[in-house]
């Protein structure tokens, strides 16, 4: 970020800590440029919002995994990630690309940005399918994922421990099949 006020260290640590004040600052500093670019290149406000938020989530994941390499300001980095994501989205929608108004310095960000974007899309899809499961399935799976002891799960659900495990397996299989049959998922592969 072309820091007018705060250090890059502060901003990065703030993103990592999901600090509202930091995110508001990042929004204020970096979003207008991204919005202007996307709206000048076949996009609208909603596209700009989706792409910008995705760039922050990607940055967060890279920070968390200790593999963010910054060779420029964070503002330029975010803009470059947004540009790459938007160009790929236009390409996927088979819209012609006659890029205008880049307006800011951009750099090549690693291909892993797209890998993280793809993973985020899959995860959103998985969560949407989870939401469609029967309530008891969601409850059983949630309890297993929260590492609640099997005995407690069985008690809460009114199952035997053996049946609780079996039910968890059945629910997971329902979820896997539902995702595998989804056309969006097939397109993602």
Shortest Cβ 106–other proteins spacing (Å): 16
Nearest approach in angstroms of CB 88 to other proteins is 13
Cα–Cα distance, 160 to 154 (Å, whole number): 6
Q: How far apart are CA 57 and CA 49, in angstroms?
A: 12
Least spacing, CB of residue 102 vs other proteins, in Å? 21
Nearest-approach distance from CB 55 to other proteins, in angstroms: 11
Q: In whole angstroms, how close is the CB of 168 to other proteins at the nearest point?
A: 8
Cβ nearer to other proteins, comparing 46 with 111: 46
CA distance 160 to 166: 10
Query: Are 90 and 44 spatial neighbours (Cβ–Cβ below 8 Å)?
Result: no
CA distances from 19 to 81, 157, 171, 175 (A): 21, 37, 36, 34
What distance in Å separates the CA atoms of residue 185 and residue 182, rounded to the nearest whole number? Answer: 5
Which of 67, 38, 31 shows the shortest CA–CA distance to 52? Answer: 31
Nearer to other proteins, 111 or 131 (CB): 131
Q: Is 168 exposed, middle or buried (0-12, 13-18, 19+ CB in 10 A)?
A: buried
Interacting residue ranges for other proteins, rule: CB under 8 A: 5-14, 16-25, 27-28, 31, 44-47, 49-50, 53, 56-57, 60-61, 63-72, 119-120, 122-128, 130-131, 141-142, 144-146, 169, 172-173, 175-176, 179-180, 184
Separation of alpha carbons 103 and 143, rounded Å:
49
Q: Which is nearer to other proteins, 31 or 83 (CB)?
A: 31
Whose Cβ is closer to other proteins: residue 7's or residue 162's?
Answer: 7
Name the residue nearer to other proteins (CB basis): 66 or 98.
66
2: its two tokens:
């072309």
In this structure, what DSSP letter does residue 4 have?
Answer: S
Nearer to other proteins, 4 or 111 (CB): 4
Least Å distance, CB 97 to other proteins, is 17
């Amino acid at each position: 970020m072309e820091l007018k006020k705060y250090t890059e260290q502060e901003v990065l640590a703030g993103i990592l800590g999901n600090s509202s004040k930091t995110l508001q600052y990042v929004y204020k500093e970096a979003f207008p440029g991204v919005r202007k670019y996307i709206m000048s290149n076949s996009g609208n406000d909603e596209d700009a919002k989706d792409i910008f938020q995705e760039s922050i989530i990607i940055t967060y994941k890279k920070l968390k995994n200790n593999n963010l390499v910054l060779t420029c300001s964070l503002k330029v980095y975010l803009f470059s990630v947004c540009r790459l994501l938007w160009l790929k989205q236009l390409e996927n929608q088979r819209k012609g690309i006659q890029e205008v108004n880049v307006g800011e310095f951009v750099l090549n960000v690693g291909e892993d940005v797209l890998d993280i974007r793809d993973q985020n899309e899959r995860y959103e899809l998985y969560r949407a399918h989870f939401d469609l499961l029967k309530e008891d399935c969601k409850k059983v799976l949630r309890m297993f994922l929260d590492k609640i002891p099997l005995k407690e799960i069985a008690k809460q659900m009114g199952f035997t421990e053996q049946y609780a495990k079996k039910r968890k397996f059945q629910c997971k299989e329902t979820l896997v099949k539902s995702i595998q049959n989804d056309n969006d998922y097939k397109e993602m592969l």
